[in-house]
Amino acid sequence: MTRNILSSSVQNASFSIIFQILFRCITFVLNAFIIRTVGQDVLGIMNVRLLLLESTILFLSKEPLLKACLTNTKSHNWAQVINMIWLSVPLSGVLGAVLVYVWINLLSPTDEVYIAQYKLGCYAIAISCIIEQCTQSVILVAQSYCFVKLKIVFETIYILSRTFIFVYFVLSYPNNAITAFSLAQIFSAVILCGLYYGFFTWYILKLNEIKALDGDDKKTSHNGTLFADMSDFPFRSILNFFPGFMFNEDESINRKLLVLTVSFVKQCVIKQVLTEGERYVMTISPVLTFSQQSVYDIVNNLGSLAARFIFRPIEESAYFYFTQMVLRDEPLDKQDKKKIAEATNVLNQLCKIVTSIGLLVVTFGQSYSSTLLYLYGGKKLIESDLPTTLLQFHCFAIVLLAINGVTEAYVFATMTNIQLDRYNYVMVVFSISFLLISYILTNILGPVGFIVANCINMAARIIHSLYFIHEKFLKTGYKPIEGLIPDKKYIAILVISGIGTKLSEKCILPNTVLGHIGIGMLLLLGTLVVWAIDNQTLLKLGYAKYKRKLSIKTD
């Protein structure tokens, strides 16, 4: 790989944020459409029960293999990696069969009118997951060789096609919304698979043509295009993306990657429980009705906007960056000093950025939760205080999610196999504690208990990650986690903004929503200006990199 890893990681995060914004916007509009067209019960079945099934199958069958195969891609034996990533297909098939049986026969039943559609939905989810896993080898190569824009374009087409297919069938057959959801899942998965394999079929043919040219003609043909600097691209045919077709002198499977995958399997099972814990509690123990689940899901998604379209892409890109810059099995003081210094600075700046954004959300979220819900769902959504309370609690969870995402990205990217195995036991404790706390607090506090339990577990995971990072850097003299401490000026302006927005909510909001929003925008602008003044070095560095990138494109 000759492309710049940091640059591609930042670009990947940027495009992923844009994609997540688009995806969230589509989801919110679609949820509103579903509620107005077919009701809240159907939304609860699809968004909680069926999407949880999809999330469980995909995450457990894909995530461990993908994380292991993304480690140090420069030294890959790609024949072994392709063989290994294809294990996700039979794995998703086995998981799908087991979980579909559980979802249909063991979980609390749906209303009689939805049973047939619900069963079809479970089978459709399992089939669509298998189809998606057939694309993992191509997606892995695209990510390893920094095809950032390609991934975003194809995933956007995937989401849009799924949405349009669903809406078309719902409008045509409004009484069969869950069936429409099922068909949309399968068709969109086929479209995504076809897009990836179609592109790389064309790409490899063109790349082979360029490699066959003489020196001057070759330079003219690919200079400034997506074929530039791809002399090390090892795939000569689309068949190379399938297991057993690529020339390989070594064993079929890389044993080290297999051991690493096993470590990630244990970790991912636990992380899935932590990530989707409230959905599992709602699904296994029917604390809330499907209608209540749909309302909670709407508020939960609205409250998780920042976490989903800002923090998660940053976490994914940070993980990839740290896996390429820091070696797992060597102490930091024995590694390349230049790489470690750069990785330390990146970690410090990431901590500073996500903490600043999280505190900003907390400050303004306490006064603008009800306003946001009113603008989204109208007066009906805020008839009770519960939605507003849920969203306000979400704001505190966002800070913890932001910090946990970045710190765990570094931890998982730099832990040795032995450390990963040890951490799995810690995660077991976190998971069991989370489920118990969720169940107890939900029975006491209602839906708010889910959020409080999540905050408690996030705090525990952050403490563990910070301890690991502190021990990791102990002999180097670096202190990257100091980035979590915000500047005094920034804290002061946040306090002023918090008081100002609360006064606005009490005095101005009852008379005019626009006036309340205007006050908030002015205070937000002032807060951002203070942050920019305190972080001039970071902004100058970002501007310099952007300017250099523009000059390179111009040349």
Q: What are phi and psi of 336, to 5 degrees?
A: -60, 115
Instruction: Give residue limits of the domains in the chain.
Output: 39-253, 266-484, 487-555
Lowest-confidence region among 166-170, 514-518, 547-551: 547-551
Residue among 347, 357, 286 nearest 481 (CA): 347
> Under a CB-based contact definition with an 8 Å cutoff, are residues 484 and 355 in contact?
yes
**pLDDT tens digits along 450-480:** 889 889 989 999 998 998 888 888 777 788 8
Q: How many CB atoms are located within 10 Å of the residue 379 CB?
A: 8
| Highest mean pLDDT, choosing among 28-42, 374-388, 473-487 | 473-487
The Cα 216–Cα 194 span in angstroms is 34
Would the CA dihedral through 257, 311, 280, 45 be positive or negative? negative
Identify the pLDDT of residue 231.
58
* 3-class DSSP state of 102: helix
Residue 219 pLDDT > 80: no
Write down the pTM of the prediction.
Answer: 0.66
- Half-sphere exposure (Cβ direction) of 194: Cα atoms closer than 13 Å: 9
pLDDT band at 224 (very low <50, low <70, confident <90, very high): very low
The Cα 59–Cα 136 span in angstroms is 12
b or e along 296-323 (b: 16 or more beta carbons within 10 Å of the residue's beta carbon)? bbbbbbbbbbbbbbbbbbbbbbbbbbbb
The Cα 487–Cα 532 span in angstroms is 11
58 is written with which tokens? Answer: 């995909």
The Cα 167–Cα 154 span in angstroms is 20
Share of the chain above pLDDT 70, in %: 83
Higher pLDDT, 226 or 281: 281
53 is written with which tokens? Answer: 């099934």
Question: Which residues make Cβ contacts (< 8 Å) with residue 56, sequence separation at least 6?
Answer: 95, 99, 272, 276
Residue 308 pLDDT > 70: no
Lowest-confidence region among 16-25, 73-82, 107-116, 383-392: 16-25
**pLDDT tens digits along 273-297:** 767 877 888 887 766 777 677 777 7
The Cα 175–Cα 231 span in angstroms is 55
The Cα 327–Cα 329 span in angstroms is 6
Proportion of the chain in helix, strand, coil states, percent, rounded to 5: 85, 0, 15
b or e along 41-77 (b: 16 or more beta carbons within 10 Å of the residue's beta carbon)? bbbbbbbbbbbbbbbbbbbbbbbbbbbbbbbebeebb
482 is written with which tokens? Answer: 């100091």
Cα–Cα distance list, 142 to 19, 83, 135, 270, 280 (Å): 17, 16, 11, 28, 33
Q: What are phi and psi of 285, to 5 degrees?
A: -115, 105
* 3-class DSSP state of 108: coil
Find the mean pLDDT for residues 309-316: 76
pLDDT band at 2 (very low <50, low <70, confident <90, very high): very low
Identify the pLDDT of residue 89.
94
- The CA angle 549-553-555, to the nearest 5 degrees, is 115
pLDDT band at 150 (very low <50, low <70, confident <90, very high): confident
The Cα 484–Cα 528 span in angstroms is 18
**pLDDT tens digits along 313-334:** 788 788 888 888 888 777 777 7
Tell the burial category of 160 from Cβ atoms under 10 Å away from its Cβ (0-12, 13-18, 19+).
middle
Average model confidence (pLDDT) for the chain?
81
> Under a CB-based contact definition with an 8 Å cutoff, are residues 307 and 401 in contact?
yes
